[in-house]
C-alpha cells in the first residue's frame, strides 16, 4: 500500500498557473480543513487572468485521489 503525503495549500495548489491546461480545468482531490477529511473539486482557469476555486471552503491541506482498485 502506498501512502500519500498531505500538501499544504500554502506550499502548492492542485493546479498551478504554470501547468499546461486549457481555459478551464478541474481536478477532484482529498481535502482537510483542520477537522474534516472529504473529497472536493478544485477548479482553475484563464479568463480575465488566472483564477482558482475550491468547491469546499476552509481547505488547509490536500492530496491527490489514490488509484482505483483493479
Evaluate whether 11 touches 61 at the Cβ level (below 8 Å): no
- Is 6 part of a structural domain of the chain? no
pLDDT single digits (tens) 5-51 = 999 999 999 998 888 767 888 999 999 999 999 999 999 998 878 88
Parent domain of 35 = 23-63
In a domain, 33, yes or no: yes
In a domain, 57, yes or no: yes
The number of domains in the chain is 1
Predicted local confidence at residue 19, as pLDDT:
80
Residue 4 lies in a domain: no
Cell numbers for 17, please give them: 498557473
Question: Is 14 part of any domain?
Answer: no
Neighbours of 61 (CB within 10 A): 17
Dist CA 38 CA 56 (whole Å): 9
| 55 within domain boundaries | yes
What does DSSP assign to residue 15?
Answer: S
Amino acid at each position: 500500500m502506498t501512502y500519500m503525503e498531505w500538501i499544504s495549500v500554502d506550499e502548492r495548489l492542485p493546479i498551478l498557473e504554470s501547468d499546461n491546461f486549457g481555459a478551464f480545468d478541474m481536478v477532484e482531490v482529498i481535502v482537510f480543513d483542520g477537522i474534516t477529511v472529504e473529497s472536493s473539486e478544485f477548479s482553475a482557469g484563464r479568463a480575465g487572468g488566472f483564477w482558482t476555486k475550491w468547491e469546499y471552503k476552509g481547505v488547509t491541506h490536500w492530496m491527490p485521489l489514490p488509484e482505483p482498485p483493479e
